[in-house]
Amino acid sequence: MIYGKISLVQYRVKIMKMKITLLSLSALVLSSCGTNDSTDEKTNTTTKDKTPTMEMEHKRIPEVVTFDPDKIHVPNVSDVYAKFTLNSDLTHLSANQKSMIPILIEISEIMDELFWLQSYGSKEELLNSLNETNLKKMVDINYGPWDRLNGDNKFMKEVSDKPLGANFYPSDMTKVEYEAFEDENKGSLYTILERNSDGFLSSVFYHEKYSEQLKKASELMLKAAALADDKGFNKYLTLRAKAFTSDEYKASDMAWMDMKDNDIDFVVGPIENYEDQLFGQKTAFEAYVLIKDKSWSEKLSKFAKLLPQLQRDLPVDEKYKSETPGTDSDLNAYDVLYYAGHSNAGSKTIAINLPNDETVQLEKGSRRLQLKNAMQAKFDKILLPIGDVLVEPAQRKHITFNAFFSNTMFHEVAHGLGIKNTINDKGTVRESLKQFASAQEEGKADILGLYMVEKLFEMGEITEGEIMDNYVTFMAGIFRSVRFGSSSAHGVANMLRFNYFAENNAFNFNETTGFYSVNPKQMSAAIKSLSNKVLTLQGNGDYEGVEIWVNESGNISPELKTALDRLSGIPVDIVFTQGTRFLNLR
pLDDT tens figures, 306-316: 878 888 889 99
Q: What is the mean pLDDT of residues 283-309?
A: 86
What pLDDT score was predicted for residue 19? Answer: 31
Asked whether residue 569 carries a pLDDT value surpassing 70, the answer given is: yes
pLDDT 10s digits, 211-232: 999 999 999 999 999 999 999 9
Give the H/E segment covering residue 311: helix 307-312
What pLDDT score was predicted for residue 386? Answer: 96
Alpha carbon 581 to its chain centroid, in Å, reads 27
Nearest CA among 263, 283, 265, 264 for reference residue 273 = 283
pLDDT range class, residue 550, cuts 50, 70, 90: confident
Helix, strand, coil distribution of the chain in percent, nearest 5 = 50, 15, 40
Q: How far apart are CA 475 and CA 471, in angstroms?
A: 6
Mean pLDDT of the chain: 85
Backbone angles phi, psi at 362, to 5 degrees: -70, -30
The least confident of 62-66, 179-183, 219-223, 449-453 is 62-66
Q: What is the mean pLDDT of residues 117-143?
A: 96
Q: Are strands 573-577 and 81-85 parallel, antiparallel or unpaired?
A: parallel
Q: How far apart are CA 152 and CA 120, in angstroms?
A: 12
What pLDDT score was predicted for residue 215? Answer: 98
Nearest CA among 487, 514, 516, 443 for reference residue 12 = 487
What pLDDT score was predicted for residue 534? Answer: 93
Enumerate helices (H) and strands (E) in the chain, giving the number of each. Answer: 23, 14
pLDDT range class, residue 65, cuts 50, 70, 90: very low
Backbone angles phi, psi at 192, to 5 degrees: -110, 160
